[in-house]
Copies of this chain bind each other. A is one copy, B any other.
Amino acid sequence: MTHAQLRPPTMADVARLAGVSHQTVSRVLGDHPNVRDETRVRVLRVIEETGYRRNSSARALVTRRTRTLGVVASDTTLHGPASTLFALEEAARAEGYLVSTVTLRKLSMETLSEALDHLSEGGVEGVVAIAPQRSAVAALAELRCPFPVVVMGSGPGVEIPSVSVDQHLGARLATGHLLAAGHRNVWHLAGPEDWQEAADRAAGWKATLEAAGVEPPMLLRGDWSPLSGYRAGQELAGWVGRGLTAVFVANDQMALGVLRALREAGVRTPQDVAVVGFDDIPESEFFAPPLTTVRQDFSTVGRRGIEILLELIEGRPPATARRVAIEPQLVVRTSTFPHAVQWEGEPL
């Protein structure tokens, strides 16, 4: 815990103590091959003794590489963003990059611009934006940055490189699962209009129903929170007995609210109404009843995002497409399938 207040040793100090030139020290540190073993050992010993550490600013100045990436995110306490962030950092660190994060309470042109400025001041070489709102992506596209930017979770239509889970597919899996289980129709509680993921999930739901020749019923909207799910659930409860037997909820938190509302209204899940969520948060398996949901592989999303960003930064040729969609996976539990005790995998 001691941290010397006096100026830390420089490379020149180490060089003097080891009886070599500063360049030799630099070579040792840089794993340069042409250094005599004896010299290397001597230098390393002095480094060890003095606790010397290269000055990152000086290094960055001359190499023009800070080896730092930026991440802009919001709602980092939610499972999706938090998981993505984690994967992002881990992948970046594996490549020797440091990750600096800016977490916004709300994404707007202004806050985004400030965030990018802040990161830019910090010398990041590139930025990953966890920007699920369409408006945020649009803003991002307008902003001019001196570094490459990759978006996580954007939809089509923007020319920024992006990585996301195939929400449309996820919604088809969920809706298809309910239809296959014999439900004549499936209702949908969607996320906020501005969210690309919400739009994609709603579109996937609609497409599946239409492909099955079913007229999609009224679409409800929430804001991802359990409370909004609870409110929507109360409304849904009113439709039980009038054709409502299955609901696809756009995320697990809202599904939790729906479950509570249905329970309070005396509606049994899954006997009266089957419910599917989206995300597979760690809690879902223990909901009442355990929730059938769609699992997203955030870790792959994060890794691919860093991969693309580094290609952009280092000017490497793209190994794969600059617009990647990861496949989600249906997890069947009791909320749609009473006989599923705790079992994951195969759709019915």
Contacts and interface: CB of A to CB of B under 8 A. Distances in A.
A255 to B, nearest CB: 10
B226 A286 contact: yes
Contacts of A122: 56, 67-68, 98
A5 B257 CA distance: 50
A85 interface: yes
A101 B99 CA distance: 6
A159 interface: yes
A133 B283 CA distance: 23
B100 A8 contact: no
A140 to B, nearest CB: 8
A347 interface: no
Contacts of A1: 141, 144-145, 149, 159-160
A98 B119 contact: yes
Total identical chains: 2
Given A58-B61, A61-B61, A259-B288, A121 B98 contact: yes
B288 A146 contact: no
A149 B76 CA distance: 24
A263 interface: yes
Given A1-B149, A68-B122, A118-B93, A342 B264 contact: yes
A85 B75 CA distance: 12
Closest 6 CB pairs of A and B: A56-B123, A57-B60, A288-B288, A98-B122, A57-B61, A226-B286
9 contacts: A1-B149, A53-B146, A57-B66, A68-B100, A98-B100, A226-B283, A227-B285, A229-B286, A253-B283
